[in-house]
Amino acid sequence: MSPTSRDPTLSADAITGMLRAAGSVFAEEEAQLLIESASSPDSLVAMVGERVAGVPLEHVVGWAEFCGLRIAIDPGVFVPRRRSELLARTAAELCLSTPGSVVIDLACGSGAIGTAIATLAAGVELHATDIDPAAVACAGRNLEPVGGQVYAGDLYEPLPGVLRGRVSVIAANLPYVPTEAVALMPPEARDYEPLVALDGGPDGLDVLRRAATGAAAWLRPGGHLLIETASGQADHAAAAFAAAGLAPTVARHEELGATVVIGRR
């Protein structure tokens, strides 16, 4: 018996109505997901309450779908966006051309990018870093099944020195929202995701520049750095890659609304 059948006040229609009133665009789909995820009627009541209050759906149910995978998402951890699938799939394609690739998921958040790469390109050696302890703990759970290692620290700082000059692919979904634009983001992101995962500095590219500058020391000759950006940032990001000694190209996916700058050492 489902929770809704035991508690008629929480029928699918009732939950849908509550979610729609709270501003959900996909109220019916969210209602069904909450019902399926709840372990009891009391759990369902609590979950619906959280979602109506604005907590991201992924934080409420504890996971997000990414590249066809179920990625664990802890409260307070950045939620992977579907547009980032371009980053993960492009990185995986590069790995498939180099068997045994060493991969770094830089500023990894939940580890969704690295998990997807390792799933799509089996046999990679996967490492990940993040400065946020909550993200490191979450990523550790996601990366363990694909053999990945995660380290706590800022960008390249915590990586083992033995990786220098050996890395085939560095994939990064870094913070790229300009500081003044953070306040304009949807409340789900602004209020429930860490600022360090959103704020990219005055023009949104401060962390990208640091990542580009440090990449050459870790990449093998012919290795690639891939960083997601906003479409309007791509030219400036490519210039930062070139200044760091990387040959830049830009990949775009119109349907996903995604832009990835790719630099080859």
Extract the tokens encoding 96: 């498939």
What is the pLDDT at residue 173?
98
Span 65-89, average pLDDT: 98
d(CA 211, CA 205): 10
* Alpha helices (H) in 121-265, listed in sequence order: 133-143, 187-192, 206-215, 234-243
Query: Which CATH number does the domain 82-264 belong to among 3.40.640.10, 3.40.50.720, 3.40.50.150, 1.20.1090.10?
Result: 3.40.50.150
d(CA 140, CA 105): 12
Indicate the domain borders of the chain: 3-53, 82-264
Share of the chain above pLDDT 90, in %: 94
Please state the pTM of the whole predicted model.
Answer: 0.93
Extract the tokens encoding 219: 């990449």
Burial class for 218, CB neighbours closer than 10 Å (0-12, 13-18, 19+)? buried
Residue 8 clears pLDDT 90, i.e. is over it: no
> 2 pLDDT band (50/70/90 cuts)?
very low
